[in-house]
């Protein structure tokens, strides 16, 4: 399992110094069903703008 999860989305409430994700869990989904062939076919559903 990954030790560090990195994120460059500065307005996410889980983004910490050094582009580290502080979320307890990460939820990533595919646009194309259960398999993705390219990075562009996925989204991080953990994103929260913290507003």
Per-residue pLDDT of the chain (51 residues; tens, 9 = 90+): 678 999 999 999 999 999 999 999 999 999 999 999 999 999 999 999 987
Domain ranges of the chain: 1-51
CB 29 within 8 Å of CB 45:
yes
Closest CA to 51 of 16, 24, 11: 11
Model pTM above 0.75: yes
């Amino acid at each position: 399992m990954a030790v560090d999860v990195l994120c460059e989305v500065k307005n996410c409430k889980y983004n910490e110094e050094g582009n580290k994700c502080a979320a307890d869990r990460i939820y990533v989904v595919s646009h194309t069903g259960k398999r993705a062939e390219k990075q562009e076919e996925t989204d991080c559903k953990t994103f929260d703008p913290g507003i």
